[in-house]
Each structure stands twice: as C-alpha cells, then as structure tokens.
Amino acid sequence: MEAPCLERKPSEITPLTSFASSVSFADDDSLELSNRGSSRQGGYLLYRQRWLVLASYCLLNVSNGWIWALWSPLTALLADYWEVSESDIDALSGIYMYVFVPMNIVSMWLVVNYLGLGKGLQLGALLNLVGALVMYAGGRDGWVLLEILSSWTDYQIKYLGIFLCALAQAFVLPMVALMSSNWFGEEERARATSIGSLGFQLGSLFGLGSTVVVDFRDNITGTLDPQKLDQYMRLSLFVALWAFILVLVTLIHDRPPTPPSEAAATLVQDKNVTVKYIDSIRLVLSSPSSRMFFLLFGLTIGVFYSIPAFFSQFMPAWSPRNQGILGGLFQVAAVFGCWAAGNLIPFFQLQYKKISVCLLFGCVISVALYTVSVQYQSYLAVLACGGIGFFFSSFMAVGIEFGTALSFPADEAAVYGLLDSTAELFGYLLVTLGGAMSLIDFQVAFCCVLLVLLSISLVTLWRLEALVRRPSLMSGTSTSFIRESNSQMS
C-alpha cells in the first residue's frame, strides 16, 4: 500500500504561511497560552512561553551534565578515599554511555508513542532528582527510604545514583530537537537547539572545573576532605531539585496552540504523515546518506565524549588545580561553541554540510595539537583543549539540526536519540580503550587512534551526498521532498 505524501501539483503548491493562522496543534480548547509578549516570524505566531520551556530544559541539562562530570577531576583523591582503582572512578563517567544506548530505545519509544515532550521531560527530571538524592543521602541515618543502602560501600551507592541519572539522560538529552521543533520558529530553531545543548556543556563545566574553585584535599593530611565533598554533592542535589520543579511547572503542554514554523505546519496540515518511533527509525535507516551521517556523527562525538574523561591521567605532570583549569577551559570553549553554532546555521542559510565539514576540520587540528601536548606535557594543551571544546560542541549542535533535516518527517526526539546513541556507544568503547591504554602508558598512541578516526569521519563527510528534506522558507526546500521519505516507510 502506498504511503500518504504531501506532494502537490506545481499550481497547487502555496506558501504554508497562508494558512499559518488557521492551523492548530490542539484538538480541543484545553491548550490555553497567553499571546502577550508573543511575536511573529515568517507568518507564524511565536509564544513567549517558549523561553521558559527552554530555560527549564537547560537547567535540567545543567544538572544532569554536572552529575556526569562530578567525579572526573577528583579521580586520584576518590580512588584513595574509597579504596578502589582509578579505572573504577573512570567507570562512573562511563555509566552514562553504556546506559544511554539501550535505554534510549525504551525512553524514545515511550516519548514518541505515549508520553510526549512534557511528560517525558518530567520523568527524566524525577529520575535525575532521585539519582542525586541517592548519591547524597544513600546510607545516611534519618533517611528512611535510603537506609537500606547502609550496608553498601560509598562507591556502590554513588554508582547506583549515577546509574539513575544516566537513565534520566535518556529522557532528557534527545528532547532538545523536539523542543526546538515544537516551540521555536525557523530562524530561532538552530539557536534554541544550541542553547539547549549548551546546558549539558555548562553542567560539565561546573563538574570539570570544580577543583579550580574548591580544594577538596584536607589541609593536614592531603587526602580527600569528606566534608567538602558532602557540601559539593548537596549543591548538586539542590540544582536537581530546582530543575525538577521548573520542568513540572513550565512543561504542562507539549507545544503551543499553533505551529511555530513551516516544517511544523506541514506535519499538522497532513494528518496522515506517520511519525511513530519505529517508522522514524526505519526512515532514518532507509537512506544511505542518513545511515552514513549518523555513523560519522556518532564516531566524532564519541571522540568528544571520551577526551575529558582522561585529563587527569593524560596530563600527570600538571597539578590538580591546573588540570581543573584545563577541564574548565574545555567546557567554556564548548559553551561558546554551542552559541556559535546557533548563529552559523541561519547566517549561512542552512548549508549544513559545508558548516559541518569546516567544524570537523577544526576538530582534527585540535586533536592533533592535543596529541603533541600529551607527548610533551606542554601548555599547548590549553590551546588544544579550547579548540576541542569549541569545534566539537559546534559540530554536535549543527549535526543535530543536520540529522533531523535529513530525516524529516521522522520524529525529532527519535532521530536525536539515535544520533546520540551512536555517539554514546562509540564514547563508551573509546573510554574503555583509553583506560586500558593509559594503564600501560600508551596515552599518546590512544590520541593517535582518535586522530585517525576523526580523519576518516572528515573524508566521509566531505564525500557525502546529502539531501535536506525538512521544508524551509530560508533554504527554499518544498514539501514535495516528503513524497520520497514517506514511500520509504511503506
């Protein structure tokens, strides 16, 4: 049976803005939002509540990213304090990577088919809060529900807490593209995606740069000061609590009453366009160009995820404070990279491939400089880590938009979930490989492996023939492209 399509005869194709005001997301009158402070973009009404939605999502992402990077700068101190190996501390960062891949299938299936944006993020915020609570209060007297963990070691309790936060990430991280699509106009979409992604980088900055602000060592013994660690974890719990409250309050609705862009209006106009989870994944995998892009995106971002896990091990000649500065610089550059990506896409009129190739070339150069700095323990690492943070985070933000544009009309959350699952899988494999190679002093060799993988990704992306299918007034993409996409799902 032939799948429904949106193709029209040339004489029948009209700008979607002509019916923008008449198209509605809502099936009833239950969706009520204020128009005060709203604006129009390309004929579509943009509600001011979109900024509250974005802010609450960012805070949740900050909290989740902070917990991920909580332990990396304290590897040596925690290994001695908990009486475990440094590779066991590295494994705490690896939890996010190996949990995300299988859990993403479950979470996105629930979100796309049943929960939607609001309930999905609320569930993610709850899991994140419970995980932070377990890490802080697990095994303590007076916390009745958590006293059952009193027989566990500190390391085991922290492992459980981070595991719960890793489950939360599967409901949070992939939502950025869906949030941008549901709430933001065409010219704002890339910026919203970048700002949303920036939240995780900002949280990682707080984690990786914590040793710059706080000396976690005891002034007398030089070992870990448990009081300082306790206060630090209490602060992360406070942020997780506020993130949960804000998401609960601001994400009552999945979307505004009317679509904010031509792509959103296209899906609303044709009720028969299928965007269920399985159909979305099938649509992505049916296109050779999409499959190849998803693979090279995962490989590139997997490299990005693996690098900060080894700052302390790969730069042993540096003091813990300087290692913290290096991690902080890495994340500051990543924050600026996310911001830059949001401006590059509209400035270059949605030329995703050209932007991605340039950014990936910057990634290759930065990792090459980092390899040299690891070999000689030089301050070239400052420039290298700044470049890595900037170019990789920019590439990730642009890649999210590129991947969803290639896969339209697939559900954005499902598409990004698949993108990041690939990245998390490669990241976990590379962290495991890097940990093993660092034990035998093969740090430079591991950096060379990363450089080779990035070079392969760059050549593959440069030769990739990609067709952007998402309708856009800026790029001139019409809805007729959707015919081929839908036929691939049948």
3-class DSSP state for residue 45?
strand
In a domain, 9, yes or no: no
Name the pTM for this structure: 0.73
| Number of independent structural domains in the chain | 1
H-helix or E-strand spanning residue 473: none
Comparing CA positions, the residue from 225, 213, 256, 236 lying closest to residue 54 is 256
Neighbouring C-beta atoms of residue 29, cutoff 10 Å: 7
User: Tens of pLDDT along 207-242?
Assistant: 776 766 777 787 777 788 888 888 888 898 999 999
116: left (phi over 0), alpha (psi -120 to 50) or beta: left
Unique residue bearing structure tokens 């896969």 = 407
pLDDT of 62 strictly over 70: yes
- Residue 126 corresponds to which tokens in the numbers above? 């709850």
In a domain, 30, yes or no: no
In a domain, 66, yes or no: yes
Comparing 9-18, 251-260, 426-435, the range with the smallest average pLDDT is 9-18
CA distance 346 to 108: 28
CA distance 142 to 137: 9
CA distance 163 to 93: 10
In a domain, 358, yes or no: yes
CA distance 356 to 336: 16
Comparing CA positions, the residue from 443, 409, 116 lying closest to residue 312 is 443
In a domain, 24, yes or no: no
What is the extent of the structural domain holding 119?
A: 48-489
Question: Angle between the 320-347 and 186-208 helix axes, to the nearest 10 degrees?
Answer: 180
CA distance 154 to 83: 10
| Helix residue spans in 83-146 (DSSP H) | 86-110, 116-137
**C-alpha pair distances (Å), 463 with each of 221, 392, 459, 466:** 57, 20, 6, 9
In a domain, 14, yes or no: no
User: Tens of pLDDT along 353-404?
Assistant: 888 999 999 999 999 998 898 888 888 888 988 899 899 988 988 888 888 8
CATH of the domain at 195: 1.20.1250.20
Q: How far apart are the first and last CA of the chain?
A: 7
Confidence class for position 444, pLDDT limits 50, 70, 90: confident
- Exposure on the CB side of residue 44, measured as CA atoms within 13 A: 30
- Our CA angle for 274, 277, 281, nearest 5°, is 95
In a domain, 42, yes or no: no
Confidence class for position 120, pLDDT limits 50, 70, 90: very high
CA distance 360 to 478: 29
C-beta separation of 352 from 334 below 8 A: no
- Exposure on the CB side of residue 105, measured as CA atoms within 13 A: 6
In a domain, 13, yes or no: no
Comparing CA positions, the residue from 269, 393, 282 lying closest to residue 331 is 393
pLDDT of 243 strictly over 90: yes
CA distance 283 to 446: 35
Residue ranges with strand state E in 292-420? none
Mean pLDDT taken over the chain: 78
